[in-house]
Structure 1
Amino acid sequence: MTSDAHVPLADAAAPRPILAREPRFDGKVWDVVSDQVDLDHTVVTRDFVQHTGAVVIVALNHRDELYLVRQYRHPVGVECWEPPAGLLDGVGETPVEAAARELHEEADLTAETWHVLADYYPSAGGSSEGVRVFLARDLAAVPDEERHERSEEERDMVGDWVALDDILAAIAAGGVHASSLLVGAMAADQARRSGWSTLRPADSPWLLAPEDRRRGGSL
């Protein structure tokens, strides 16, 4: 198969008709549903995780270091190094506002400059989750008296500044595994090598799953 080098590579929104939906599981963070889907006159059953979506924050300082947190991830039983991140579950909150909130809560940082680095689906075959990766720069520390009190799995979360080049080396060596870190670090490296010319505005259009696929959506 040949391709036209002048045609941009881009995914296309093309939802298929949902004939019926049956809830399978209602969870704290996400739900599981079973859809009867019409795929060009062939009806199939697809079970998937309904997810609100999430944001990831690549906080980059003037020394080309990223702020990472080490967080326990129970499904894999691993303490993963990751950028700060969180769910799009705030009522009336834009993605960049959610990112600013998570940066404050998980890293005790604020940022003056925000751009989009990347958008991705962690598991499009089994989840409606869409993730937007933001680049946050011109950082400042949150005053002690305004810092968020972390709880549950975030209570013992530790953080550190790590050079972007060291993160890239750890990815190549198989030392880190969180998809948010792999996508975020490699996208940041690509943007850095372009002289930051590939950055998108913080409010750029986003190809999220349709509302009826996301958590809280209905037919």
Structure 2
Amino acid sequence: MSERPAPVELPELSGADLADRPERWPILDRQVRHRGRVTTTVTDTVQAPDGSTIGRDWLLHPGAVGVIALDEEERVVLVEQYRHPAGFRLIEPPAGLLDVEAESWLVAAQRELAEEAMLAADEWSVLVDLFTSPGSSAESTRIFLARGLRPAARPDGFDLVGEEADMRVARAPLARVVDGVYAGRLQNPLLVAGSLAAAQALATGRELRPADSPWPARSVRQ
């Protein structure tokens, strides 16, 4: 009978160690491959700590915000939107790019909620911050929780164009959304992370960060 291998002793992270930290390896060369409407594709030659070099293709991205908007019955405001790269019509929270000069993250989220769902909210807090695809994109996203919903007009000058012109707005109970995530029926990363975070926060009474909390990913970017 073969002996069991000895258990691997792994260091335990806690306190200040249990946090992502900014780090940038030296970029020896950068080639811009394509400039698009939203993203720019670049190839970097990067020097690793051992002195070797590696090539990485990745996307420069302005970042985004998303909103888990809950009504008094704990139903989530959702939009159905066609996403061409995925080849799916995804169910998503209201969300949008950080592409307005000098606009705060909270104001951007409030604007997106009004543009896509024609709603405003009286209570705002931060649910989670995440990099949506850190191996290939610089996109950082902040997901807010919005409560105290009320009707609002779309901002002046905003028109529904492209995929947004075919977008449908709906609501669903938060518990049902969470079930859809675990069943694999709902795949949008902002909805997955935001709905799970909201459900856990409500169930435990967790105190969320204020809506104007620092956002390390954006500070490093600036």
TM-score by length of structure 2 reads 0.89
Identity %: 40
Question: Structure 2, unaligned stretches of length 5 or more?
Answer: 1-9
Q: What residue is the counterpart of 2:179 in the other structure?
A: 169
User: Aligned in 2, Cα 1:35/1:4: closer, same or farther, shift over 3 Å?
Assistant: closer
Question: After the TM superposition, which residues 163-202 of structure 1 pair with which residues of structure 2 at under 5 Å, given as runs?
Answer: 163-197=173-207, 199-202=208-211
Query: Alignment partner of 1:155: what SS?
Result: helix
Question: Structure 1, unaligned stretches of length 5 or more?
Answer: 213-219
Q: Which has the larger radius of gyration?
A: 2
Q: What residue is the counterpart of 2:39 in the other structure?
A: 30
Q: Distance in 2 between matches of 1:159 and 1:133?
A: 18
Deviation at 1:211?
3.4
Q: Segments of 4+ in structure 1 off by > 4 A? A: 4-8, 143-148
Preserved contact between residue 47 and residue 126 of structure 1 (Cα < 8 Å): yes
Preserved contact between residue 96 and residue 202 of structure 1 (Cα < 8 Å): yes
1:115 aligns with 2:116: no
Q: What residue is the counterpart of 2:216 in the other structure?
A: 207
Q: What residue is the counterpart of 1:217 in the other structure?
A: none
User: Aligned in 2, Cα 1:10/1:21: closer, same or farther, shift over 3 Å?
Assistant: same
Preserved contact between residue 66 and residue 190 of structure 2 (Cα < 8 Å): yes
Equivalent in 66, 69, 74 of residue 59 of structure 1: 69
Deviation at 1:194?
2.2
Preserved contact between residue 57 and residue 85 of structure 1 (Cα < 8 Å): yes
- Give the AA of the match of 2:178: L
- Give the AA of the match of 1:164: L
1:2 aligns with 2:14: no
Q: Once the two structures are superposed, what CA deviation does each residue of 1:6-44 show, in whole Å capped at 9, x if it has no partner?
A: 556211111111121110111111010011111112221
Deviation at 1:4?
5.0
Question: After the TM superposition, which residues 85-104 of structure 1 pair with which residues of structure 2 at under 5 Å, given as runs?
Answer: 85-104=95-114
Deviation at 1:192?
0.7
Preserved contact between residue 68 and residue 81 of structure 1 (Cα < 8 Å): yes
Aligned alpha-carbon RMSD (Å): 1.9
User: Aligned in 2, Cα 1:48/1:162: closer, same or farther, shift over 3 Å?
Assistant: same
TM-score by length of structure 1 reads 0.90
Q: Distance in 1 between matches of 2:158 and 2:71?
A: 21
Q: What residue is the counterpart of 2:136 in the other structure?
A: 126
Preserved contact between residue 69 and residue 160 of structure 1 (Cα < 8 Å): yes
Deviation at 1:207?
2.5
- Give the AA of the match of 2:38: V
Query: Alignment partner of 2:166: what SS?
Result: coil
Equivalent in 154, 170, 177 of residue 160 of structure 1: 170
Deviation at 1:149?
3.4
Preserved contact between residue 167 and residue 185 of structure 1 (Cα < 8 Å): yes
